[in-house]
Structure 1
Amino acid sequence: MNVGRNRCDNRCVAYKYALDSVPSIHTSLNMPDWDSPAETVRDNVYLTTTLHVCCGCAIWEYITQLRYEWDVFRGSGQYRWTIWVYSNCRLSMLISLLLSIATAEGWSKNHCTALYATAMAISYVSIGLASLLIVLRVVAVWDKRLCIVITSYIIWLSGAVLNFRGRPDGFSIHANSMHLSDVTLLRASYNATLGACTPYNTSKFLPNSWRQRLVSSVSSTARELYG
């Protein structure tokens, strides 16, 4: 009995020590000051680097696959109307990344709003066309079954409508993003500290709610499961 009690006491002491050490672990992990100028500059450097990497991958992909499009357009390859969706998706993605780099690098100090809004609008076009390519693949994989065709296009059209306008209460298809129609509300200015175009008053057009994440996850999962 004494041995068992001693083991229990030792175990309780170990648990108590572990619980007491938890606050010290959390307090040692100090969160950065997100509003400090140094942190803002560092975040902007990371963002710009990521954009350059993504744009480099997009340029490489566009150049390596350009031969296929060229063969189709000059008549040596088999023509399908989906080539227009494919080509415009790749081109809009590349243009949106290039414009995003232009805003991050501050290439235009006097036209930041126009540059930023154009980059956002074209990125929405790229997302919509990419989603349509997924739908077309789903339809092809399922051998154009009527129920699959109807369901796939309903999902895509619902996503396109919500992505374009959404609902007045901030119901959006993409989490932490604006509606396409809200691009007209976007305002940006040149930030001399960052050397980049940055938007301001984003709380007016950047909705952020759990409903956005729910709808975005359900829509994306549905398209992937069908494929």
Structure 2
Amino acid sequence: MTDWRDPDVVNAEYLAFIKLLHVMGGLYIWEYVTTFGFEWSVITRKRKYRWTIWLYSGCRLSALTAIVVIFIGFNVTKPINCEAWLVCVFLFAYTAFLFASALIILRIYAIWDRNLHITALAVVAWLTNAAFYLHNIIMSRSVWNPESPGCVVLYTDRSRENVIVTLVTDMVQLVLMLWGLVRYGNAGTFNGLWRLLYNQGLLWLVIVTVAEIPPTVFIVLNLNDPLNLMFQTPELIIMSIGATRIYRALADYGLMTEFNVVSER
């Protein structure tokens, strides 16, 4: 039976963790560069400006910054302030998560026809997430490891409640969104835009399940520090890519609708 606390096993897991970080980080950088045309079309006014673009761009930029900071901490060869480094990683990563969740809340607000009770429940879930994120930033600890060399995150099991709460609150938002869409389907208006939103809601459910369940399972098991961290960066990248791709798809649908209206005139 594997001793997950054995130093050799922990070192091997850390190596695998760092390799996975670089692969997933490279994937996100490729995603960002190849889809920057969307922001550029808004900047050049080829696409209609909507204020929600700030949430979209905030999610993308925060995730990109978090990845760059992560790369710095695991690739420098001279000692750095690892405490400040980890705070920056968490700050930008959690900001990306909150922007992604905010995009979902806006959909809930629209789908439920601006129902204040439903929207308030979604916002409370969002604020709960933000509070746990802030707590995790305060509790984070990291030190310089001269053998690596690089920063090593300590007490990773302290993120357990934070990871679990993220999964629960995102599921609450998903239920609210899908419930609202099903209501329209039952009312006989489930076509066109609503069908697109429903399909995107199902896609978001898959994204949240794939991205958030693995880190939750491993941090509950608490086998060792690298395994506790292993799937948290992939979670950030999957959630950021998923949320922003869904946003672009809906924006493109709106643009196509505008073109259709113009062509019919």
Give the TM interval when normalised to the shorter protein: 0.5 to 0.7
Q: Does 1:206 align with 2:176?
A: no
What SS does structure 1 have at the residue aligned with 2:158?
A: coil
Q: Does 1:223 align with 2:173?
A: yes
What SS does structure 2 have at the residue aligned with 1:199?
A: strand
Amino acid at match of 2:6: D
Q: Does 1:51 align with 2:1?
A: no
1:133-178 deviations in Å (ceiling 9; x for gaps): 121222233343333323222221232233324xxxxxxxxxxxxx
In structure 1, distance between residues paired with 2:80 and 2:167: 38
TM norm structure 2: 0.59
1:49-99 deviations in Å (ceiling 9; x for gaps): 111121122112211221111111232211111111110111110111121
Cα contact 2:22–2:71 (8 A) shared by 1: yes
Q: Does 1:188 align with 2:143?
A: yes
Cα contact 1:134–1:223 (8 A) shared by 2: yes
Q: Quick one: structure 1 residues 66 and 47, their matched pair in 2 at CA, closer, same or farther if it must change by over 3 Å?
A: same
Sequence identity (%): 27
- Residue number in structure 2 paired with 1:133: 103
Aligned residues: 177
In structure 2, distance between residues paired with 1:125 and 1:34: 32
In structure 1, distance between residues paired with 2:31 and 2:172: 27
Q: Quick one: structure 1 residues 108 and 95, their matched pair in 2 at CA, closer, same or farther if it must change by over 3 Å?
A: farther
Q: 120, 140, 145: which one pairs with 1:150? A: 120
Q: 82, 89, 106: which one pairs with 2:76? A: 106
Cα contact 1:41–1:194 (8 A) shared by 2: no
Q: Which has the higher helix share?
A: 2
Structure 1, unmatched stretches of 5+, are 1-29, 166-178
- Residue number in structure 2 paired with 1:168: none
Structure 1 stretch displaced more, 112-121 or 43-52: 112-121
What SS does structure 2 have at the residue aligned with 1:206?
A: helix
Amino acid at match of 2:138: S
What SS does structure 1 have at the residue aligned with 2:37?
A: helix
TM norm structure 1: 0.68
What SS does structure 2 have at the residue aligned with 1:32?
A: coil
- Residue number in structure 2 paired with 1:160: 130
Who wins on radius of gyration, i.e. which is larger? 1
Cα contact 1:44–1:194 (8 A) shared by 2: no
In structure 2, distance between residues paired with 1:82 and 1:222: 22
Structure 2, unmatched stretches of 5+, are 178-265
Q: Quick one: structure 1 residues 115 and 162, their matched pair in 2 at CA, closer, same or farther if it must change by over 3 Å?
A: closer
What SS does structure 1 have at the residue aligned with 2:24?
A: helix
1:8-37 deviations in Å (ceiling 9; x for gaps): xxxxxxxxxxxxxxxxxxxxxx1135232x
Cα contact 1:54–1:97 (8 A) shared by 2: no
Cα contact 1:48–1:104 (8 A) shared by 2: yes
Say what the alpha-carbon RMSD is for the aligned residues: 2.5
In structure 1, distance between residues paired with 2:87 and 2:124: 28
What SS does structure 2 have at the residue aligned with 1:197?
A: strand
- Residue number in structure 2 paired with 1:39: 9
What SS does structure 2 have at the residue aligned with 1:59?
A: helix
